Amino acid sequence: MPLAAKRHGDAEAIRYKDPSGEWVSVSFREVGNIVRKLSLGLIDLGVEKGDKVSILANTRPEWTYFDFAALSAGATVVPIYQTNSPEECQYVLENSDAKVVIVEDDEQLAKVEQIRDRTPKLEHVIRMEGSGGSAMSMDELIQRGQGHSDAEWEQRWRSVGPDDICTFIYTSGTTVPPRGA
């Protein structure tokens, strides 16, 4: 994302409808800035290269921001179907050794709260929207990253190479337990 932000600057990267139905455009530069801030927050939480960061959400702009943020911190992203039950979420979180899970909203947070005591490797829960519960808000994550430098972030994303794992995708597990690929 840093290179795309530099190359495409103010060109539109994302367009979506906000909750009021208005179309919103976000430039490559803006996306790059959001990604940097979120990534530095993840780094502050102790996310290291190769750690697993799960995303439990519907497709939305924040999904993309967190995906790029985790990848630029050197983490491996582990998406979880937003329709999964709490037990299915637990399976993916445990099987992947996820250190962080990013949830969309109260509904997804409730699933994680139900199984949190059975996922000992899960250290942090972050919300895309809202605040409260057992999760850190997106704004709180951004604030945590303010103590880190852009140079630290650049060093981290430049360390990611073609041999690093980008994403683990789990099968739906309709006839057998889900498998990560």
DSSP 44-75: HTT--TT-EEEEES-SSHHHHHHHHHHHHTTP
> pLDDT (tens digit, 9 = 90+) per residue, 156-172?
999 999 999 999 998 87
Whether 147 and 153 have beta carbons less than 8 Å apart is answered as: no
Q: Is the dihedral of CA 19, 21, 22, 25 positive or negative?
A: positive
> pLDDT (tens digit, 9 = 90+) per residue, 39-77?
999 999 999 999 999 999 999 999 999 999 999 999 999
Q: At 154, which amino acid appears?
A: E
pLDDT average, residue stretch 133-150: 94
The enclosing H or E element of 106 equals helix 106-115
* pLDDT (0 to 100) of residue 64: 96
HSE at residue 1, side-chain half, CA atoms within 13 A, is 30
Band (1; pLDDT cuts 50, 70, 90): low
- Lookup: tokens for 74: 């050197």
Ramachandran category for residue 94: left, alpha or beta (phi over 0 → left; psi -120 to 50 → alpha): alpha
Residue 170, helix vs strand vs coil: strand
Q: How many residues does the chain have?
A: 181
Interatomic CA distance for residues 129 and 166, integer angstroms: 25
pLDDT average, residue stretch 87-98: 96
Whether 152 and 40 have beta carbons less than 8 Å apart is answered as: yes
Nearest to 73, CA basis, from 57, 93, 50:
50
